[in-house]
Structures are given as structure tokens and as C-alpha cells.
Amino acid sequence: MPHHDLMLTPAGPALAPRYREPRTGAAGPYRRLFAAPGARAFTAGNLIARLPMGMFGVSAVIMIAGAYGSYALAGAVTATGMAATAVVAPWTARLVDRHGQARVAVPATALAVLGSLALLLCVHHRAPAWTLFAACAATATCPNTGGMSRARWAHLYRGDPAALHTANSFEQAVDELCFMLGPVLAAFVCAALFPEAGTLLGAVLLLTGVLVFAAQRSTEPPVTPRSATAPGSLLRVAGTVPLLGVFLATGAVFGAMEVVTLAHVDGPLAGPVLALQAAGSCAAGLVYGRTGRAVRLRTCLVAMTCLMALPFLGASTGSLLALAAGLLVAGMATAPTLVTGMALVQRLTPRGRLNEGMTLAVTALLAGIAVGSATGGWTAENAPSTAYAFLVPVAAAALALLREATRTARETAPRPRRE
């Protein structure tokens, strides 16, 4: 994405930024980023709230499979929760934009936590299977904590594209870190204490983090009057649907890579090897944020398509070390792609509906992850060798690149004149 001196944000170009970080001195961009009053406090709360997002899925699978002896049931229950979240999350985000983060996020989180506790109790008491589905579906009200944090950065640094780019890069690195550490923490707690411990700890951390985050009212974006926001569905906003198609294909890359790697390694080393992709993405995101400016999304997708071939080449050699190195390098294209994509979402989303816009992007990613997981799993099971299944994420990345090329071609094509 090209750099602009004036960036159209949900706050509008005419408003002066609430805070502009100092440009002098030896402080790096991240130190200047957190110099804004209240930035460290809301970031700390958001970190606590986001860590459980990488814990809940693993914790649910461990406790359900252990109690009912069925990984199929565990997978179906977690898939139900993901599907329910995909439906409910945009509505929750719309309420956040309309009524404010603190007023909506706290009760929505409380409902989600009650759903997690209900699931825990149902599993503990071996309740009928249908109760597990109902309890897991009740967790769908959990707000998009990452989106709310990005909305605060967009409010703090409106009118300052370089600082906002650094903030978005930091947020993406945090996402990767949470999804890298969350499953490890969940598996450890479940094994060291009791099978339900991971879900219980995740629920406590989620509620605590959201309460701390919501208490930081000084950095909360102001509520935009309903009459000042664009009416109707955001899917009608020009350019939104094609961009969501890019996010859908990108999500398929992640879902396929996870399942294919687990199937290929098939052992205790599968988790650590897979975590290298997230580690590479986290590191790349932090470095990308130091540049102060973004490149075009199409360039990022070209890099991701090329680098996603490295795990296939590594797996083809039969060397676990080569596969691990390929995953580490391939992950380095992930964060820049998502950071640039989220910046485009912020530009397209009308004023006052930023949480809803970013939640739609996350929903598209989740849908892509589900499709990629199913496709990758089927390929790994039916291909002559599991190494060939690593071509699925390559194909998904190429599809994302094709969708982005088509989207930009339509935007730059000259419009016919009306006589």
C-alpha cells in the first residue's frame, strides 16, 4: 500500500490527532508508540485478554476427548463454537461501535465466560453431547479484543500514518505471540493440573483482561452518532467484498499449513515445529513496524506465495530440520500481509464502524482457516505422500494473490463515461 501524507481513517482527515509522538531523539518507533498517555495500560489489559484466544481450542479438545473418548466430538464442538462466533461477532462489533467499548465488551465477555464455564461443567459431569454444543455456542459473544485495541490506536494516531503502521504491526506480532504461546500454556496446564484447567484459566484471564482494558476510558474511541455513520451492511461498501475474498484465501493458507504440518510430522515435535511459523511471523511483524510505512498488499502476497513453497521443498527432502527452517522463513511473509490488509480495511471502513469492519475481516480469516483445514486434511490423507499436501497452502496463497490482483485491477480500471 502506498504511503500517504494524509490517511483517511474512521476519525476523518479533518480532525487533528489526539496524540502525535515526538520525532526527535534516539527512541525507536515502538518506544515512541507507547509514549502516548494510557497506551501501556490498555495494551497490558488487551494482552491478558488475548492470550486465552490461543488456549480455548486446545483446552476444549483435551478435556472433551479425555472425558468422552472422541476426538470427532471434540472437533465438532469447537467447530460449532467457531461457526457461532462467525455469525455473532459482526453484530457484537457493531454494538461496540454504536455504544462504546466498555459498555458492550464487559457484558459480552461475561456471557462468553459463562458459556466456557458451562462447557467445563458439562464435560466434568459427563452431560449429554448436545449440551456441549449449546454451551460452546454461548461463547460466541466474546468481543474482538484485537480489533478494539487497533481501534484505539487508530483513534490515538489518526492523521499519522507512520505511527499507525507501527501500531498495526505491533498488534499483528501480539496476535502471533498469543497463538504461539496459548496452546503451549493450555496443554501444560491441562496436563499438570486437571483436564478442565486450561478452559478455567482461559476464562479467568479473558474476563480479567477485558475488565482492565475497559477501565482505560481515556483512550477509548468516542462513540459516533448513528446518524453520522454509513447505514446498512458494510458488505455494500465499495471494495469490501473483494478484500474479504483476499482474507478468506489467506485464512485458507493458515488452516491448511497447520493441519498438513501436524499430519506430516505426527508426533510430539509437531507443535514446536509448527510454532516456528508463528515465531517467524512475529519477528517479521516487529521489523515491518519499524519501517514506518507499508508496501502494497499485492507485493506482500507475492512474497507469501513464493515463501509458502519452502515448507513443501523442506518436506520433500524428508528432513525435519529442512521443514522447520522452511516454516520459519515462510512465516515471515504472514505478518506483513495481514498488517497491510488490516490497514486497507481501516481505509475502506466508514467512520464510526471500525470494530465492525475489522471483525468482518477476522471472520473471513476464520472461514478461510476452516476451509483450509478441511482441504489440507483431506489432501494429507489421500495424497501419495503427506509432503504433497504442502502444496495446498501454496495454492491458497496464489489464490489470494489472484484475488488481490483482480481487486486492484478493478479499482484502477477507467470508468466508462456516461453520455
pLDDT tens per residue across span 98-156:
888 888 889 999 999 999 999 999 988 888 988 988 988 888 888 888 888 888 888 87
pLDDT beyond 70 at 411: no
pLDDT at 110: 92
Q: Is the residue at 260 inside a domain?
A: yes
Same domain flag for 238 and 330? yes
18 touches 176 (CB < 8 A) = no
- CA proximity to 84, closest of 145, 49, 133: 133
Domain that holds residue 87: 38-167+179-224
DSSP code string of 89-148: HHHHHHHHHHH-HHHHHHHHHHHHHHHHHHHHHHHHTT--HHHHHHHHHGGGG---HHHH
At residue 56, the 3 state secondary structure works out as: helix
Residue whose C-alpha cell reads 490498555 in the numeric block: 42
**Main-chain phi, psi angles of 6, to 5 degrees:** -125, 120
Number of domains in the chain: 2
pTM of structure: 0.73
Q: Is the residue at 267 inside a domain?
A: yes
Same domain flag for 220 and 307? no
Q: What is the pLDDT of residues 305-349, one digit of tens each?
A: 999 999 999 888 888 899 989 999 988 888 888 888 888 887 877
Same domain flag for 151 and 299? no
In CATH, what number is assigned to the domain containing residue 397?
1.20.1250.20
Q: Is the residue at 10 inside a domain?
A: no
Same domain flag for 145 and 205? yes
Same domain flag for 112 and 143? yes
CA 332, CA 315: separation in Å to the nearest integer? 18
Q: Is the residue at 352 inside a domain?
A: yes
Q: Cell numbers for 415, please give them.
A: 470508468
Nearest 10 degrees: Cα torsion 40, 202, 210, 34: 10
Q: Given 206, 224, 242, which residue is the final one in a domain?
A: 224
Same domain flag for 81 and 159? yes
The overall average pLDDT reported for the chain is 79
How far, in Å, are 87, 115, 168, 190, 212 from residue 147 at the CA level?
A: 16, 22, 10, 29, 16
Same domain flag for 260 and 206? no
Residue 417 carries which side chain, given as an amino acid letter? Answer: R
pLDDT at 7: 31
Q: Is the residue at 3 inside a domain?
A: no
pLDDT beyond 90 at 208: yes
- Burial profile 385-417: b = 16 or more Cβ within 10 angstroms, e = fewer: ebbbbbbbbbbbbbbbbebbeebeeeeeeeeee
Q: Is the residue at 263 inside a domain?
A: yes
- Min mean pLDDT across 247-251, 369-373, 401-405 is at 369-373
- 303 phi-psi bin (left φ>0, alpha ψ -120 to 50, beta other): alpha
pLDDT at 307: 92
Q: What is the pLDDT of residues 180-191, one digit of tens each?
A: 777 778 878 888
- CA proximity to 244, closest of 349, 329, 395, 158: 349
pLDDT beyond 80 at 30: no
Q: Is the residue at 6 inside a domain?
A: no
Same domain flag for 83 and 137? yes
Same domain flag for 185 and 312? no
CA 277, CA 192: separation in Å to the nearest integer? 26
Q: Is the residue at 286 inside a domain?
A: yes
Q: Cell numbers for 309, please give them.
A: 513453497
Q: What percent of the chain has pLDDT over 70?
A: 85
Same domain flag for 156 and 243? no
Same domain flag for 275 and 390? yes
Same domain flag for 238 and 220? no
In CATH, what number is assigned to the domain containing residue 62?
1.20.1250
